[in-house]
Amino acid sequence: MSTLDSILRETRSFDPAEDFRRKATVSGPDAYYALCEQADDHYLSFWGDLARELISWKKPFSRVLDDSNAPFFKWFDDGVLNISYNCLDRHLAVNANKIALIFEADGGGITRVTYSELHRRVCQFANGLKSLGVGKGDRVVIYMPMVIEAIVAMQACTRIGAIHSVVFGGFSAAAVHDRIQDAGAKVVITANEGLRGGKIVPLKAMVDEALAIPGSETVTATVVYQRTNSGASDWHDGRDIWWHKLIDGQPESCEPEWMQADDPLFILYTSGSTGRPKGIQHSSAGYLLGALNSFRWVFDYKPSDVFWCTADVGWITGHSYVCYGPLGMGATQVIFEGVPTYPDAGRFWRMIEQHKVTTFYTAPTAIRTLIKLGADLPKQYDLSSLRLLGTVGEPINPEAWMWYYEMVGGERCPIVDTWWQTETGSAMIAPLPGAIATKPGSCTLPLPGIMADIVDESGAPVEPGKGGFLVIKKPFPSLVRTIWNDPERFKSTYFPEEFNGQYYLAGDSANRDESGYFWIMGRIDDVLNVSGHRLGTMEIESALVANPLVAEAAVVGKPHEIKGEAVVAFVVLKGPRPTGEEARRMTAELKNWVAHEIGKLAQPDDIRFGDNLPKTRSGKIMRRLLRSIARGEEIAQDVSTLENPQILSQLQERAS
């Protein structure tokens, strides 16, 4: 049965356990529907009240929403605040000695950092950044391993009003360069090396390579955190400075830069269907409000919790549910440098046992990997501290959901399947776990105040059971403000004319069942979701055609048991079509090439070579056909309009 059929036939439903429901912040369905009603009836005061309740303002706002220049919405715009103040300083009066971070290194070493210690480190580093001339509005690229200093760097930027742009450590030098250039970064913060699964990641060497490419002249300094003992190759005097030298002698306090509510907090690059990754620009107050409120409702946050979100800070999940949401609420959280399978597939379960994690949030791809490597392994650990589980980033198949529910959660922990995006900044559709019954594979119902719906091409709502476009009908505080350097693209991508420019178009298709639950079906554009990582097919195609041997390339996705989706590339070389050994050699070369151009995460699983690509007589590549070939399906489509039907059999041939 296809995933689609199996989820549409899913009938299992799980009410929150009585004990969980009783203690939950939003307890029982009536409480949830009451909040929804409040939001429906008094939309602006609903958000205004939350912003006053959850955020500490230097100067209160007088207006909730300015929609005079829609879709460039502004929220709370005359309010003044600082995000790092909200994440650190305001906890010091009562919680100075509370543990903020429990850091577990790749090799297993553990470091605990209290709120007062984190505050001190952030202030010192913020002063260090200031000494390099970084100030309000400057862009800072952060390319770090998942260590305490990555969070210190992000918080230090927000403290002085600099706009950070974190680049995931798995991206290549070329990808780092593109982001530096687009953001016009002044400073890059990195580490000499990273460690993941016992392997070295040469971060500083990548930065050197990125900065050697013309177009990165805006960068005046590179701060290098010494993560390993091996020093750093290629030191550029006058540009490179060690982190420890930068903070040496810096004062341990730093007055926050007071910011307007809508000042940009960060830019995070993500893939779309066309062109290069787009710089998603988030605001200060609106973004923080989304992170705080969803953290409290969706994860039913209690001050006694030990929260663990396994995402890297290079992704939006690591921004909202590592750096900003949990710290803003004064939570204790685990952060982890390594990977779930190192040194063995029991790593996550051992860490949950050891740190007494109460709330665990990870991606379906990690769950599927761990099922495969040891479905019974969780039984060997004491996971009784857990009270709530979560997933994010891609659809979860009901079998993986059930395993997570039974084997990890011991049938007592609700699972919050959270649907959201880089653009939405915080969780949009997810069960409030003490209120809403869950169904395996469904992200259930929108958070109160999130006007999500499913519509057809004309913008009209569709009936239950009929799929359509997922939209959000009203602006909300944590929504992306614009695409950095490209407001036109922002407008046409997210607020298209088809819907009168009124609805936020998420880019996913979805379905709703009879009880109103949402089931996400996948992207409607040329975006792939590989192991929960978002990749544009066009980005990979551009990388392939940048290879001097390649004439043309088309990339599609195919279902993959563990990764959710895998990349398949169809390639036409400038020379003759390779076969046999030569095809295998070219496949390996092109995989390396993509790793070099974008990062390993974008490498095709499968590369097929043809003398041409299947095209209509007007020259359009028939992608649907390529998708069928990639999946090994019989070709059911009409190929009579094809210019060159004979190449289909070439493309069906695998090199290995």
> Least distance from C-beta 506 to ligand PRX, angstroms?
6
Residue 57 assigned ligand-binding role: no
Distance (Å, whole) CA 150 – CA 153: 5
The string of DSSP letters for 522-552 reads: EESSSEEEETTEEEEHHHHHHHHHTSTTEEE
- Candidate list 508, 539, 541, 565; residue touching ligand PRX; CB under 6 A: 508
Interface mask (CB under 6 A) for ligand PRX, residues 399-438, using x and -?
------------------xxxxxx----------------
CB closer to ligand PRX, 207 vs 392: 392
> Least distance from C-beta 280 to ligand PRX, angstroms?
8
Alpha helices (H) in 311-346, listed in sequence order: 316-318, 325-328
Beta bridge partners of 364: none
- Candidate list 325, 328, 346, 393; residue touching ligand PRX; CB under 6 A: 393
> Least distance from C-beta 483 to ligand PRX, angstroms?
13
> Least distance from C-beta 194 to ligand PRX, angstroms?
21
Q: Considering only 55-63, 176-184, 391-399, 644-652, which stretch makes contact with ligand PRX by CB under 6 A?
A: 391-399
CB closer to ligand PRX, 46 vs 321: 321
Q: Considering only 202-210, 222-230, 290-298, 506-514, which stretch makes contact with ligand PRX by CB under 6 A?
A: 506-514
The residue at minimum Cβ distance from ligand PRX is 422
Residue 395 assigned ligand-binding role: yes
For residue 157, state whether it binds ligand PRX (rule: CB under 6 A): no
For residue 520, state whether it binds ligand PRX (rule: CB under 6 A): yes
| Residue 83, both tokens | 């995000």
- What letter does residue 630 receive in the DSSP assignment? H
Distance (Å, whole) CA 495 – CA 499: 7
Beta bridge partners of 195: 200
For residue 309, state whether it binds ligand PRX (rule: CB under 6 A): no
Measured CA distances, 629 to 289, 359, 471, 525 (Å)? 46, 42, 31, 19
- Candidate list 182, 337, 394, 597; residue touching ligand PRX; CB under 6 A: 394
For residue 596, state whether it binds ligand PRX (rule: CB under 6 A): no
> Least distance from C-beta 13 to ligand PRX, angstroms?
18
- Other beta carbons less than 10 A from residue 562's beta carbon: 16
Residue 317 assigned ligand-binding role: yes
| Residue 170, both tokens | 């798995």
For residue 392, state whether it binds ligand PRX (rule: CB under 6 A): yes
Residue 545 assigned ligand-binding role: yes
- Pairing mode, if any, of strands 264-270 and 259-260? unpaired
Q: Buried b vs exposed e over 252-285: b needs ≥16 C-beta within 10 Å? A: eebebbebbbbbbbbbbbbbbeeebbbbbbbbbb
Interface mask (CB under 6 A) for ligand PRX, residues 339-378, using x and -?
----------------------------------------
Closest CA to 427 of 528, 241, 289, 261: 289
Q: Half-sphere exposure of 600 toward its Cβ, with a 13 Å CA cutoff?
A: 3
Residue 230 assigned ligand-binding role: no
Closest CA to 66 of 39, 82, 44: 44
- Candidate list 172, 369, 493, 529; residue touching ligand PRX; CB under 6 A: 529
> Least distance from C-beta 275 to ligand PRX, angstroms?
16
Residues 6+ apart with CB under 8 A from 654: 606, 608
CB closer to ligand PRX, 171 vs 570: 171
Closest CA to 145 of 269, 318, 312, 307: 312
CB closer to ligand PRX, 64 vs 371: 371
Ramachandran angles phi, psi of 255, nearest 5°: -60, 130
Q: Half-sphere exposure of 202 toward its Cβ, with a 13 Å CA cutoff?
A: 11
CB closer to ligand PRX, 128 vs 398: 398
How far is residue 466 CA from its own chain's centroid?
28
For residue 565, state whether it binds ligand PRX (rule: CB under 6 A): no
For residue 310, state whether it binds ligand PRX (rule: CB under 6 A): no
- What letter does residue 256 receive in the DSSP assignment? P
Residue 617 assigned ligand-binding role: no
Binding site for ligand PRX (CB under 6 A): 270, 316-317, 392-395, 417-422, 443, 506-508, 520, 523, 529, 534
Could you list the residues known to form a binding site, using ranges. Answer: 196-199, 317, 393-395, 417-422, 508, 523, 531, 534, 545, 550
